[in-house]
Structure 1
Amino acid sequence: MSRTTYMFDNRTPEAQKQLGFLAGILDAHSFEVLAGLDIAPGSRCLDIGPGAGTVTRWLADAVGDTGRVVALDVEPQHVPAGGVIEVRQGDVRVVDLDPEGFDLIHARLVLMHIPERVEVLRRLVAALRPGGRIVLSEWDCTELDRMLVHATDPAAFDAVTAFQRALIAHGESHGMSPTWAREVPAAMAAAGLPDVEATVFNKLWAGGEPGCLLHASNSHQREAALLAQGATTEQLETLRAAMVDPATLAWSYLMYTTVGRRPA
């Protein structure tokens, strides 16, 4: 098993802000996809890398009092347990998963950070009940120079690109794949899921909104790593100013959400 570690640190105060911004960016999309799956009351669900726990709680409402939702994370301190929610600390690469134990498995921005992502996907497929579904949402991080649309300061364009390139390089040094999102459908098919569907989500954000504030938060949380990857202090300061300027317009990363169904 790889010894690489997650590129962020969920134990820091800045990480709690980051998780809130991620929820603000992605929850509406995630809830729409999950609602379209008509999750039955009494279902057993697994939410991997639950972050702030917003999807975990949505699933708990969907399965009702007779269902069960397991929230699995290496550092699950941000997810409150109780009711039908079981919080389990563990690494998805090695933790015991009940064979054919889940009707639905959800993971958002998780496997892209795990070098053994293909092996983990196979483990998750084995944990699906016949007819069960897996939902993987991952960011494609390849169009970095097209994210900023408008900024008051012309220097922001180079600053945002430099920040993004440094951040992705830092992620790759920790085992993150910037292209995995587009590879998921083929990986699911290879793992034995013949029924695969995928959608792509993106949204334009203004400065001061979650899609921009996330970048500022990331720049604070991993400033030393970004400087080591070639970004400058001036560029990071320019980025932060742009991300809170209401005149700024920026795309988020492209979110690829792939749903696979295990044959009944």
Structure 2
Amino acid sequence: MTAAPNTDTTANGGGRYTFDNSSPAAVRQVRLLAEILDGHSTDVLARSGVESGWNCLDLGTGLGSVARWLADQVSPAGRVVAIDADPRHVATHELIDVRTGDVTTLDLGEGVYDLVHARLLLMHLTQREQVLRRAVAALKPGGVLVVSDWDCTHLDEMLLRGPVGLAEPFVAFQRALVGLAEDNGASPSWAYRVPVAMRDAGLVDVEAEVHNRLWSGGEAGCLLHASNSRQMEPALIARGVSVEQLETLRSGMDDPDTLAWSYPMVTSVGRRAED
């Protein structure tokens, strides 16, 4: 069975988070996301200078894999706070304080953290710029904010090659999925605006980079689409995607001859000025 979308109206500040973290399909989803993205995320975080003794905040922690990597870097004297609306997938760790909460209302503190990280979170929030400003306020002077979100505005360009008949179902699925996210308050184009939002919030030394790679069928980047299609099947069908199109999509995402790009991930880094 495929789980219905989350109907928790507190998940993103008055909207609905598109995916349901409590569904059986969510376990596979968060693991695939970690496999796709953790290498990029930890590379950027390593370059940010994270070191032993730092206090870090991981917003929308998901599987908690980045929080665990941070915990290894800040050991033995540092700490990591990992926040998620539903942190059931986060494994326990002696240096990680896992907290359940809505980041749009939760008190993040003032001048507490050396680093704040948020991946695939702000694009889903209707109050994204307000949360970003609160994340900035939570930084110590000299602290670093790292924000990563997908750009979902080039859906027609993602599939390079696949079995005959895959192209139309693939694009139909992508448009329907992104449309559902937009209905729930997400912004497909927010990622490219983050550097400006960071500067407007007072951060300095703002930089950004775009990360993407090509995936073959059967690899994590393709399997994520199949996983999402199963988790969101009722909502996708209600939006006009047929069962036959979903089946074609899933078969294509497992075909080793398929070649598809991920959504481009835009990662922006800014630093709070020293007082």
Interval containing the TM-score (normalised by the shorter chain): over 0.9
Aligned partner of 1:223: which letter? E
Match of 2:137 in 1: 126
Are residues 1:72 and 2:76 paired? no
Larger mean Cα displacement after TM superposition, 76-85 or 202-211: 76-85
Runs of 4+ with >3 A deviation: none
Are residues 1:182 and 2:197 paired? no
Number of residue pairs aligned between Structure 1 and Structure 2: 263
Aligned partner of 1:232: which letter? S
Query: What's the CA shift for 1:80?
Result: 2.0
Q: What is the RMSD computed on CA atoms of the aligned residues?
A: 0.9
**Pairing 1:71-110 to 2, within 5 Å after superposition:** 71-110=82-121
Name the SS for the 1:103 alignment partner: strand
Query: What's the CA shift for 1:132?
Result: 0.2
In 2: Cα distance, 1:204 partner to 1:114 partner: 28
Q: In structure 1, list runs of 5 or more residues that go unmatched.
A: none
In 1: Cα distance, 2:157 partner to 2:242 partner: 20
Aligned partner of 2:80: which letter? V
Query: What's the CA shift for 1:81?
Result: 2.7
Query: What's the CA shift for 1:40?
Result: 2.1
Which of 66, 69, 72 in structure 2 is aligned with 1:61? 72
In 2: Cα distance, 1:29 partner to 1:40 partner: 18
Match of 2:220 in 1: 210
Amino-acid identity (%): 56
Q: TM-score, normalised by structure 1?
A: 0.98
Q: Is the 8 A contact 2:151 2:265 kept in 1?
A: yes
Match of 1:51 in 2: 62
Match of 1:225 in 2: 235
Match of 2:255 in 1: 245
Name the SS for the 1:230 alignment partner: coil
Name the SS for the 2:166 alignment partner: helix
Are residues 1:116 and 2:121 paired? no
Name the SS for the 2:49 alignment partner: coil
Aligned partner of 1:136: which letter? V
In 2: Cα distance, 1:31 partner to 1:194 partner: 21
Are residues 1:7 and 2:28 paired? no
Name the SS for the 1:52 alignment partner: coil
In 2: Cα distance, 1:254 partner to 1:235 partner: 24
In 1: Cα distance, 2:176 partner to 2:133 partner: 31
Larger mean Cα displacement after TM superposition, 177-186 or 79-88: 79-88
Query: What's the CA shift for 1:95?
Result: 0.8
In 1: Cα distance, 2:127 partner to 2:96 partner: 27
Aligned partner of 2:170: which letter? V
Which of 170, 180, 186 in structure 1 is aligned with 2:180? 170
Q: Is the 8 A contact 1:45 1:69 kept in 2?
A: yes
Query: What's the CA shift for 1:83?
Result: 1.1
Are residues 1:29 and 2:5 paired? no
Q: TM-score, normalised by structure 2?
A: 0.94
In 2: Cα distance, 1:3 partner to 1:186 partner: 24
Aligned partner of 1:128: which letter? L
In 2: Cα distance, 1:117 partner to 1:193 partner: 16
Q: Is the 8 A contact 2:14 2:126 kept in 1?
A: no
Q: Is the 8 A contact 1:80 1:87 kept in 2?
A: no
